[in-house]
Structure 1
Amino acid sequence: MAIQSDALGGRLPLADPATLTPAQQELVDSVMANQLPWANENGFRIGTDDGQLIGPFNTFLLRPEVALRFLAFAAAEASHTSLSDTVREAVIVAVGAVWGADYELYAHKILARRIGLSPEVIKALSEGAVPDQLGEQEKIAVRVARQLLIQHRIDDDLFRVAEQAFGERGLYDIGAVMGQYQAVCTLLTMFAVPAPE
Protein backbone atom coordinates (compact mmCIF):
# COMPACT_ATOMS: atom_id res chain seq x y z
CA MET A 1 0.00 0.00 0.00
CA ALA A 2 1.36 3.43 -0.95
CA ILE A 3 1.95 5.99 1.78
CA GLN A 4 0.45 9.48 1.45
CA SER A 5 2.96 12.08 0.24
CA ASP A 6 2.77 14.14 3.43
CA ALA A 7 3.96 11.11 5.45
CA LEU A 8 6.88 10.17 3.18
CA GLY A 9 9.33 12.34 5.10
CA GLY A 10 8.74 10.51 8.37
CA ARG A 11 9.69 12.96 11.14
CA LEU A 12 10.98 15.44 8.57
CA PRO A 13 8.54 17.32 6.33
CA LEU A 14 9.21 16.93 2.63
CA ALA A 15 10.98 20.02 1.31
CA ASP A 16 8.82 22.29 -0.83
CA PRO A 17 10.49 22.74 -4.24
CA ALA A 18 9.25 26.36 -4.31
CA THR A 19 11.20 27.34 -1.18
CA LEU A 20 14.62 25.79 -1.79
CA THR A 21 17.82 27.72 -1.19
CA PRO A 22 20.33 27.91 -4.06
CA ALA A 23 22.42 25.16 -2.41
CA GLN A 24 19.37 22.95 -2.00
CA GLN A 25 18.38 23.56 -5.62
CA GLU A 26 21.89 22.57 -6.72
CA LEU A 27 21.47 19.30 -4.82
CA VAL A 28 18.00 18.68 -6.31
CA ASP A 29 19.34 19.36 -9.81
CA SER A 30 22.17 16.88 -9.22
CA VAL A 31 19.79 14.22 -7.88
CA MET A 32 17.40 14.73 -10.79
CA ALA A 33 20.26 14.42 -13.29
CA ASN A 34 22.03 11.46 -11.67
CA GLN A 35 19.99 9.46 -9.16
CA LEU A 36 16.49 9.90 -10.64
CA PRO A 37 17.25 8.20 -13.99
CA TRP A 38 18.95 5.34 -12.11
CA ALA A 39 16.00 4.94 -9.73
CA ASN A 40 13.48 5.09 -12.59
CA GLU A 41 15.45 2.54 -14.60
CA ASN A 42 15.50 0.18 -11.63
CA GLY A 43 11.88 0.66 -10.54
CA PHE A 44 11.97 2.46 -7.21
CA ARG A 45 10.87 5.93 -6.17
CA ILE A 46 13.08 8.78 -4.95
CA GLY A 47 10.51 11.54 -5.39
CA THR A 48 6.83 12.38 -5.41
CA ASP A 49 4.82 13.15 -8.52
CA ASP A 50 5.07 16.87 -7.72
CA GLY A 51 8.87 16.91 -7.49
CA GLN A 52 9.55 16.50 -3.77
CA LEU A 53 12.48 14.26 -2.87
CA ILE A 54 11.84 11.28 -0.59
CA GLY A 55 14.01 8.71 1.15
CA PRO A 56 17.51 9.83 2.11
CA PHE A 57 17.40 12.52 -0.56
CA ASN A 58 14.90 14.60 1.42
CA THR A 59 17.16 14.37 4.50
CA PHE A 60 20.13 15.43 2.37
CA LEU A 61 18.44 18.80 1.83
CA LEU A 62 19.23 19.69 5.45
CA ARG A 63 22.93 19.95 4.52
CA PRO A 64 23.15 20.13 0.73
CA GLU A 65 26.82 21.09 0.70
CA VAL A 66 27.70 17.93 2.62
CA ALA A 67 25.21 15.80 0.68
CA LEU A 68 26.69 16.74 -2.70
CA ARG A 69 30.08 15.54 -1.53
CA PHE A 70 28.54 12.43 0.01
CA LEU A 71 26.90 11.62 -3.33
CA ALA A 72 30.27 12.14 -5.04
CA PHE A 73 31.78 9.63 -2.60
CA ALA A 74 28.90 7.23 -3.31
CA ALA A 75 29.48 7.52 -7.06
CA ALA A 76 33.22 6.93 -6.62
CA GLU A 77 32.59 3.93 -4.37
CA ALA A 78 30.16 2.36 -6.85
CA SER A 79 32.30 2.95 -9.92
CA HIS A 80 35.66 1.91 -8.42
CA THR A 81 34.70 -1.09 -6.30
CA SER A 82 36.27 -4.48 -6.83
CA LEU A 83 33.16 -6.19 -5.47
CA SER A 84 30.75 -7.99 -7.76
CA ASP A 85 27.24 -6.56 -8.00
CA THR A 86 25.85 -9.46 -5.98
CA VAL A 87 28.44 -9.13 -3.20
CA ARG A 88 27.87 -5.38 -3.02
CA GLU A 89 24.06 -5.64 -2.92
CA ALA A 90 24.16 -8.47 -0.37
CA VAL A 91 26.25 -6.23 1.90
CA ILE A 92 23.91 -3.26 1.38
CA VAL A 93 20.82 -5.33 2.22
CA ALA A 94 22.64 -6.73 5.28
CA VAL A 95 23.36 -3.18 6.47
CA GLY A 96 19.72 -2.20 5.96
CA ALA A 97 18.58 -5.30 7.83
CA VAL A 98 20.71 -4.55 10.90
CA TRP A 99 19.43 -0.97 10.92
CA GLY A 100 15.83 -1.88 10.07
CA ALA A 101 15.82 1.03 7.60
CA ASP A 102 12.57 0.60 5.67
CA TYR A 103 13.35 2.87 2.73
CA GLU A 104 16.84 1.45 2.23
CA LEU A 105 15.47 -2.08 2.26
CA TYR A 106 12.66 -1.09 -0.12
CA ALA A 107 15.10 0.29 -2.72
CA HIS A 108 17.82 -2.31 -2.38
CA LYS A 109 15.52 -5.33 -2.37
CA ILE A 110 14.45 -4.12 -5.83
CA LEU A 111 18.07 -3.61 -6.91
CA ALA A 112 19.11 -7.00 -5.51
CA ARG A 113 16.34 -8.69 -7.48
CA ARG A 114 17.35 -6.89 -10.68
CA ILE A 115 20.92 -8.18 -10.44
CA GLY A 116 19.77 -11.74 -9.99
CA LEU A 117 19.39 -12.50 -6.29
CA SER A 118 16.30 -14.63 -5.70
CA PRO A 119 13.31 -13.35 -3.72
CA GLU A 120 14.00 -16.03 -1.07
CA VAL A 121 17.62 -14.94 -0.65
CA ILE A 122 16.65 -11.26 -0.51
CA LYS A 123 13.97 -11.97 2.10
CA ALA A 124 16.44 -13.94 4.23
CA LEU A 125 19.09 -11.21 3.95
CA SER A 126 16.56 -8.53 4.88
CA GLU A 127 15.65 -10.56 7.97
CA GLY A 128 19.28 -10.76 9.08
CA ALA A 129 20.16 -14.24 7.86
CA VAL A 130 23.12 -15.47 5.81
CA PRO A 131 21.26 -17.72 3.37
CA ASP A 132 22.88 -20.94 2.20
CA GLN A 133 21.83 -20.17 -1.39
CA LEU A 134 24.29 -17.27 -1.58
CA GLY A 135 27.61 -17.78 -3.32
CA GLU A 136 30.66 -18.22 -1.10
CA GLN A 137 31.93 -14.65 -1.58
CA GLU A 138 28.50 -13.20 -0.82
CA LYS A 139 28.25 -15.29 2.37
CA ILE A 140 31.69 -14.17 3.55
CA ALA A 141 30.94 -10.51 2.82
CA VAL A 142 27.61 -10.64 4.64
CA ARG A 143 29.25 -12.32 7.65
CA VAL A 144 31.90 -9.59 7.70
CA ALA A 145 29.26 -6.87 7.47
CA ARG A 146 27.05 -8.34 10.17
CA GLN A 147 29.94 -8.99 12.55
CA LEU A 148 31.25 -5.45 12.15
CA LEU A 149 27.79 -3.90 12.50
CA ILE A 150 26.69 -5.95 15.49
CA GLN A 151 29.92 -6.67 17.38
CA HIS A 152 31.94 -3.67 16.14
CA ARG A 153 34.87 -5.94 15.43
CA ILE A 154 35.87 -8.78 13.13
CA ASP A 155 37.43 -11.90 14.59
CA ASP A 156 40.77 -13.16 13.27
CA ASP A 157 39.36 -16.30 11.64
CA LEU A 158 36.73 -14.42 9.65
CA PHE A 159 39.25 -11.73 8.74
CA ARG A 160 41.64 -14.35 7.31
CA VAL A 161 38.85 -15.98 5.29
CA ALA A 162 37.67 -12.60 4.00
CA GLU A 163 41.20 -11.44 3.19
CA GLN A 164 41.76 -14.66 1.23
CA ALA A 165 38.48 -14.14 -0.65
CA PHE A 166 38.74 -10.40 -1.35
CA GLY A 167 42.28 -9.19 -0.63
CA GLU A 168 43.00 -6.00 1.27
CA ARG A 169 41.45 -3.74 -1.36
CA GLY A 170 38.31 -5.85 -1.45
CA LEU A 171 38.04 -5.58 2.33
CA TYR A 172 38.39 -1.82 1.97
CA ASP A 173 35.58 -1.90 -0.61
CA ILE A 174 33.33 -3.81 1.80
CA GLY A 175 34.07 -1.20 4.46
CA ALA A 176 33.44 1.68 2.05
CA VAL A 177 30.04 0.42 0.91
CA MET A 178 29.10 -0.39 4.50
CA GLY A 179 30.09 3.10 5.62
CA GLN A 180 28.09 4.70 2.84
CA TYR A 181 24.94 2.78 3.69
CA GLN A 182 25.40 3.15 7.45
CA ALA A 183 25.31 6.91 6.89
CA VAL A 184 22.16 6.54 4.78
CA CYS A 185 20.52 4.21 7.31
CA THR A 186 21.42 6.55 10.19
CA LEU A 187 19.53 9.40 8.53
CA LEU A 188 16.61 7.21 7.49
CA THR A 189 16.28 5.80 11.01
CA MET A 190 16.77 9.11 12.81
CA PHE A 191 14.00 10.73 10.79
CA ALA A 192 11.85 7.53 10.66
CA VAL A 193 11.68 7.72 6.87
CA PRO A 194 9.26 5.09 5.54
CA ALA A 195 9.31 3.12 2.34
CA PRO A 196 6.84 4.64 -0.13
CA GLU A 197 5.01 1.34 -0.59
Structure 2
Amino acid sequence: MARVPYFDLAQAPESYLQLIGSRPPLNLYRMLPHAGKVAEGFLALGGAILRENRLDARLREIAILRVGLLCGSSYEVHQHRRVARNVGLADDKVAALTPGADLGPLDATERMVLDYVDQVVAHVKAPGALFQALCDALSPALVAELTLVIGFYMMVSRFLENFEVDIEAPDAALASGWAKANIS
Protein backbone atom coordinates (compact mmCIF):
# COMPACT_ATOMS: atom_id res chain seq x y z
CA MET A 1 0.00 0.00 0.00
CA ALA A 2 1.33 3.41 -0.97
CA ARG A 3 2.90 5.49 1.80
CA VAL A 4 0.86 8.57 0.90
CA PRO A 5 -2.53 8.83 -0.78
CA TYR A 6 -2.50 8.97 -4.55
CA PHE A 7 -2.99 12.46 -5.92
CA ASP A 8 -6.56 13.38 -6.80
CA LEU A 9 -6.24 13.78 -10.56
CA ALA A 10 -9.31 16.03 -10.55
CA GLN A 11 -7.00 18.53 -8.81
CA ALA A 12 -4.10 18.08 -11.23
CA PRO A 13 -3.17 20.92 -13.57
CA GLU A 14 -4.53 20.68 -17.11
CA SER A 15 -0.96 20.62 -18.45
CA TYR A 16 -0.28 17.43 -16.46
CA LEU A 17 -3.56 15.82 -17.52
CA GLN A 18 -2.73 16.47 -21.17
CA LEU A 19 0.61 14.70 -20.75
CA ILE A 20 -0.95 11.58 -19.27
CA GLY A 21 -4.04 11.61 -21.50
CA SER A 22 -2.76 8.97 -23.93
CA ARG A 23 -0.80 7.01 -21.36
CA PRO A 24 -1.96 3.89 -19.54
CA PRO A 25 -3.78 4.32 -16.21
CA LEU A 26 -0.74 3.53 -14.07
CA ASN A 27 -0.45 4.29 -10.38
CA LEU A 28 2.85 6.01 -11.09
CA TYR A 29 0.91 8.72 -12.93
CA ARG A 30 -1.40 9.07 -9.93
CA MET A 31 1.56 9.57 -7.56
CA LEU A 32 3.71 11.88 -9.69
CA PRO A 33 1.55 15.04 -9.38
CA HIS A 34 2.69 15.34 -5.76
CA ALA A 35 5.94 16.61 -7.32
CA GLY A 36 4.17 19.56 -8.96
CA LYS A 37 5.65 20.96 -12.16
CA VAL A 38 8.65 18.63 -11.86
CA ALA A 39 6.30 15.74 -12.73
CA GLU A 40 5.83 17.21 -16.20
CA GLY A 41 9.58 17.28 -16.82
CA PHE A 42 9.78 13.72 -15.57
CA LEU A 43 7.13 12.66 -18.09
CA ALA A 44 8.85 14.51 -20.91
CA LEU A 45 12.20 12.83 -20.27
CA GLY A 46 10.61 9.42 -19.82
CA GLY A 47 8.66 9.83 -23.04
CA ALA A 48 11.80 10.80 -24.94
CA ILE A 49 13.66 7.80 -23.57
CA LEU A 50 10.89 5.42 -24.62
CA ARG A 51 9.81 6.93 -27.92
CA GLU A 52 12.46 9.28 -29.30
CA ASN A 53 15.61 7.28 -28.73
CA ARG A 54 18.09 5.79 -31.18
CA LEU A 55 19.24 3.03 -28.84
CA ASP A 56 17.84 -0.36 -29.81
CA ALA A 57 14.67 -0.93 -27.76
CA ARG A 58 15.86 -4.37 -26.64
CA LEU A 59 19.12 -2.94 -25.25
CA ARG A 60 17.14 -0.16 -23.58
CA GLU A 61 14.88 -2.70 -21.90
CA ILE A 62 17.85 -4.81 -20.81
CA ALA A 63 19.20 -1.70 -19.09
CA ILE A 64 15.87 -0.70 -17.55
CA LEU A 65 15.12 -4.18 -16.20
CA ARG A 66 18.62 -4.61 -14.78
CA VAL A 67 18.38 -1.21 -13.06
CA GLY A 68 14.99 -2.16 -11.62
CA LEU A 69 16.33 -5.50 -10.41
CA LEU A 70 19.45 -3.96 -8.86
CA CYS A 71 17.36 -1.26 -7.17
CA GLY A 72 14.80 -3.76 -5.87
CA SER A 73 11.94 -1.98 -7.64
CA SER A 74 9.25 -4.61 -8.15
CA TYR A 75 6.90 -2.09 -9.81
CA GLU A 76 9.52 -1.10 -12.38
CA VAL A 77 10.44 -4.69 -13.13
CA HIS A 78 6.78 -5.69 -13.42
CA GLN A 79 5.99 -2.93 -15.92
CA HIS A 80 9.10 -3.34 -18.04
CA ARG A 81 8.96 -7.12 -18.34
CA ARG A 82 5.83 -6.53 -20.40
CA VAL A 83 7.52 -3.76 -22.41
CA ALA A 84 10.58 -5.98 -23.00
CA ARG A 85 8.44 -8.76 -24.42
CA ASN A 86 6.58 -6.30 -26.63
CA VAL A 87 9.83 -5.03 -28.17
CA GLY A 88 10.97 -8.59 -28.90
CA LEU A 89 13.18 -9.46 -25.95
CA ALA A 90 12.85 -13.22 -25.49
CA ASP A 91 11.82 -14.63 -22.11
CA ASP A 92 15.16 -16.42 -21.67
CA LYS A 93 16.98 -13.09 -22.11
CA VAL A 94 14.66 -11.40 -19.61
CA ALA A 95 15.36 -14.22 -17.13
CA ALA A 96 19.12 -13.80 -17.66
CA LEU A 97 18.92 -10.21 -16.37
CA THR A 98 18.37 -11.31 -12.77
CA PRO A 99 21.65 -10.92 -10.86
CA GLY A 100 23.39 -14.29 -10.60
CA ALA A 101 21.39 -15.83 -13.47
CA ASP A 102 22.95 -17.72 -16.38
CA LEU A 103 24.00 -15.16 -18.99
CA GLY A 104 24.07 -17.77 -21.76
CA PRO A 105 21.05 -16.38 -23.64
CA LEU A 106 22.67 -12.92 -23.96
CA ASP A 107 24.96 -12.00 -26.84
CA ALA A 108 28.26 -10.18 -26.35
CA THR A 109 26.76 -6.69 -26.76
CA GLU A 110 23.91 -7.46 -24.38
CA ARG A 111 26.39 -8.72 -21.79
CA MET A 112 28.48 -5.59 -22.20
CA VAL A 113 25.37 -3.44 -21.65
CA LEU A 114 24.59 -5.49 -18.54
CA ASP A 115 28.15 -5.00 -17.24
CA TYR A 116 27.92 -1.27 -17.91
CA VAL A 117 24.62 -1.01 -16.03
CA ASP A 118 26.11 -2.89 -13.09
CA GLN A 119 29.13 -0.58 -12.96
CA VAL A 120 27.14 2.64 -13.27
CA VAL A 121 24.61 1.59 -10.63
CA ALA A 122 27.22 0.33 -8.17
CA HIS A 123 30.13 2.69 -8.79
CA VAL A 124 28.75 5.67 -10.75
CA LYS A 125 31.62 5.54 -13.26
CA ALA A 126 32.37 2.50 -15.38
CA PRO A 127 35.98 1.42 -15.89
CA GLY A 128 37.67 3.01 -18.91
CA ALA A 129 38.13 -0.24 -20.83
CA LEU A 130 34.44 -1.16 -20.50
CA PHE A 131 33.35 2.35 -21.49
CA GLN A 132 35.61 2.35 -24.56
CA ALA A 133 34.54 -1.13 -25.63
CA LEU A 134 30.89 -0.11 -25.37
CA CYS A 135 31.54 3.08 -27.39
CA ASP A 136 33.30 0.97 -30.03
CA ALA A 137 30.43 -1.53 -30.16
CA LEU A 138 27.54 0.97 -30.14
CA SER A 139 28.82 4.56 -30.64
CA PRO A 140 29.42 7.40 -28.20
CA ALA A 141 25.94 8.77 -29.00
CA LEU A 142 24.24 5.50 -28.08
CA VAL A 143 26.33 5.14 -24.92
CA ALA A 144 25.19 8.65 -23.97
CA GLU A 145 21.56 7.57 -24.39
CA LEU A 146 22.21 4.34 -22.48
CA THR A 147 23.77 6.28 -19.61
CA LEU A 148 20.74 8.58 -19.43
CA VAL A 149 18.43 5.53 -19.46
CA ILE A 150 20.32 4.07 -16.50
CA GLY A 151 20.23 7.31 -14.53
CA PHE A 152 16.57 8.00 -15.27
CA TYR A 153 15.43 4.54 -14.24
CA MET A 154 17.52 4.69 -11.07
CA MET A 155 15.49 7.83 -10.24
CA VAL A 156 12.22 6.13 -11.23
CA SER A 157 13.02 3.12 -9.04
CA ARG A 158 13.81 5.32 -6.05
CA PHE A 159 10.58 7.26 -6.49
CA LEU A 160 8.50 4.09 -6.83
CA GLU A 161 10.10 2.37 -3.85
CA ASN A 162 10.03 5.33 -1.48
CA PHE A 163 6.37 6.05 -2.20
CA GLU A 164 5.59 2.31 -2.35
CA VAL A 165 3.56 2.73 -5.52
CA ASP A 166 1.23 -0.24 -5.90
CA ILE A 167 1.27 -2.51 -8.94
CA GLU A 168 -2.04 -2.10 -10.77
CA ALA A 169 -4.64 -4.82 -11.17
CA PRO A 170 -3.66 -7.16 -14.04
CA ASP A 171 -6.17 -5.69 -16.48
CA ALA A 172 -5.57 -1.95 -15.81
CA ALA A 173 -2.89 -1.41 -18.45
CA LEU A 174 -4.56 -3.71 -20.95
CA ALA A 175 -7.86 -1.86 -20.65
CA SER A 176 -6.26 1.21 -22.19
CA GLY A 177 -4.55 -0.73 -24.98
CA TRP A 178 -1.15 0.15 -23.54
CA ALA A 179 0.43 -3.28 -23.80
CA LYS A 180 0.86 -2.90 -27.57
CA ALA A 181 0.85 0.88 -28.03
CA ASN A 182 3.71 3.37 -28.30
CA ILE A 183 6.26 1.65 -26.11
CA SER A 184 9.20 1.17 -28.39
Q: TM class by shorter-chain length?
A: 0.7 to 0.9
- Give structure 2 stretches of 5+ with no counterpart: 170-184
Structure 1 residue 182 displacement after superposition: 1.4
Structure 1 residue 85 displacement after superposition: 1.0
Partner of 2:4: 12
Partner of 2:15: 26
Residues 163-172 or 76-85, more deviating = 76-85
Structure 1 residue 128 displacement after superposition: 6.0
Structure 1 residue 194 displacement after superposition: 3.3
Q: 1:153 to 1:129 in 2, by over 3 A?
A: farther
Q: Does 1:145 align with 2:147?
A: no
From 43, 59, 82, the equivalent of 1:110 is: 82
Q: 1:144 to 1:109 in 2, by over 3 A?
A: same
Partner of 1:87: 59
Structure 1 residue 127 displacement after superposition: 4.3
Larger relative contact order, structure 1 or 2 (CA cutoff 8 Å, min sep 6): 2
Q: Determine helix, strand or coil for the equivalent of 1:153.
A: coil
Q: Determine helix, strand or coil for the equivalent of 1:62.
A: helix
- Give structure 1 stretches of 5+ with no counterpart: 1-6, 37-44, 47-53
Whether the 8 Å contact between 1:144 and 1:154 is mirrored in structure 2 is yes
Structure 1 residue 126 displacement after superposition: 3.9
From 88, 103, 107, the equivalent of 1:131 is: 103
Structure 1 residue 122 displacement after superposition: 1.3
Sequence identity (%)? 24
TM-score scaled to structure 2, two decimals? 0.81
Whether the 8 Å contact between 2:7 and 2:34 is mirrored in structure 1 is no
TM-score scaled to structure 1, two decimals? 0.77
Whether the 8 Å contact between 2:19 and 2:43 is mirrored in structure 1 is no
Deviation track 1:145-171 (CA, whole Å, cap 9, x = no partner) reads 111101222112211211111121111
* Mapping for residues 110-189 of structure 1, pairs under 5 Å: 110-127=82-99, 129=101, 131-189=103-161
- Structure 2 CA distance, aligned partners of 1:149 and 1:76? 21
From 149, 167, 170, the equivalent of 1:195 is: 167
Whether the 8 Å contact between 2:75 and 2:166 is mirrored in structure 1 is yes
Q: 1:188 to 1:128 in 2, by over 3 A?
A: farther
- Structure 2 CA distance, aligned partners of 1:128 and 1:152? 21
Structure 1 residue 129 displacement after superposition: 4.5
Return the letter of the residue paired with 1:175: T
Aligned-residue CA RMSD (Å): 2.0
Q: Does 1:64 align with 2:36?
A: yes
